[in-house]
Amino acid sequence: MDTSISVALSAQRALLHQLDVVANNVANANSVGFRAEKADFSTVLSNATPDRTNFVEVTKVHVREAEGPKFQTDNPMDVAISGEGYFSLQTPAGQIFTRDGRFKVSPFGELQSLEGFGVLDAGGAPIVLEKGGSDLTIHPDGRVREAGKLVGNIGVFNLPEDQISARYGNTAFTAKTPPNAIALGSSTSLTQGFLEGSNTDPLKELANLITVQRSFDSVSSMIEKADAAMEKSITELARRG
């Protein structure tokens, strides 16, 4: 394959990856607790070609750690994190970590996410309410009181980007190793009756979407022209032969 086409195809693959990232950011602009991502590109020197050609690839996708805007819901089952950290939820496949603080109470009294995953305390244990969540108070330091009685503590866990393994759904992550719980206080706290919105910047991401799409179209056009030129050269050589 012609080197110029190979390089263009590598750029096209990288742009497709970036397009997926940007499109996902746009699609989740209104998702509670969503953390947007950014794709990094680099050139990779290939020893497989005689001229050691530079190819383009996505080397890393970063999770943006900036907090999303807080908005008031007045729902006592809604909780927002101010500062770093993630709630921990127990799924059948293991623990996941999210900023989505929309909670509910199961028929058995367990504090759960809307998807039905158990909300864990700092020690990784479930939180069980005795009165179905009536007269519920969630303190900034994570303490959960029901009708004035302490029934548990919501855990918040430190999950730096380099410890994120993969996305789980739209707004959660799995961890490479079990993260440590954060001592809630002045730097990280909980607010009952609030939620955190997506940290996606819709206008910026829409502009990125247009830019990436134009770049992709430009590379596609270049590949078509190079392919046509190669086909023409082959045809001419065949005629001479």
Supply the pTM of this predicted model. Answer: 0.82
pLDDT exceeds cutoff 80 at 42: no
Q: Indicate if 84 and 182 belong to the same structural domain.
A: yes
Q: What is the pLDDT of residues 56-84, one digit of tens each?
A: 565 578 999 999 999 999 999 999 999 99
Average pLDDT over residues 51-55: 48
Here the tokens at position 194 are: 């609030």
Q: Indicate if 19 and 86 belong to the same structural domain.
A: no
* Number of domains forming the structure of the chain: 2
Q: Indicate if 81 and 179 belong to the same structural domain.
A: yes
Q: Indicate if 234 and 148 belong to the same structural domain.
A: no
pLDDT of residue 185: 86
Q: Indicate if 176 and 231 belong to the same structural domain.
A: no
Q: What is the pLDDT of residues 168-193, one digit of tens each?
A: 999 999 999 999 999 998 799 999 99
> Closest Cα partner for 63 from 96, 85, 83, 36?
36
Yes or no: say if 32 and 102 are a contact pair by the CB < 8 Å rule.
yes
Q: Indicate if 75 and 55 belong to the same structural domain.
A: no
Yes or no: say if 115 and 190 are a contact pair by the CB < 8 Å rule.
no
Rounded to whole angstroms, the Cα distance separating 167 from 164 reads 8
Q: Indicate if 192 and 101 belong to the same structural domain.
A: yes
Instruction: Write down the mean pLDDT value for the chain.
Output: 86
Yes or no: say if 14 and 6 are a contact pair by the CB < 8 Å rule.
no
Q: Which comes out higher in pLDDT, residue 204 or 56?
A: 204
Domain that holds residue 161: 70-196
Q: Indicate if 206 and 134 belong to the same structural domain.
A: no
The beta-carbon contacts of 216-223 under 8 Å, at least 24 apart in sequence, are: 216/12, 216/15, 216/16, 216/19, 219/8, 219/11, 219/12, 219/15, 220/12, 222/8, 223/5, 223/8, 223/9, 223/12
Q: Indicate if 125 and 92 belong to the same structural domain.
A: yes
Q: Indicate if 156 and 168 belong to the same structural domain.
A: yes
Q: Indicate if 49 and 116 belong to the same structural domain.
A: no
Q: Indicate if 76 and 123 belong to the same structural domain.
A: yes
Average pLDDT over residues 94-100: 98
Here the tokens at position 99 are: 């900023």
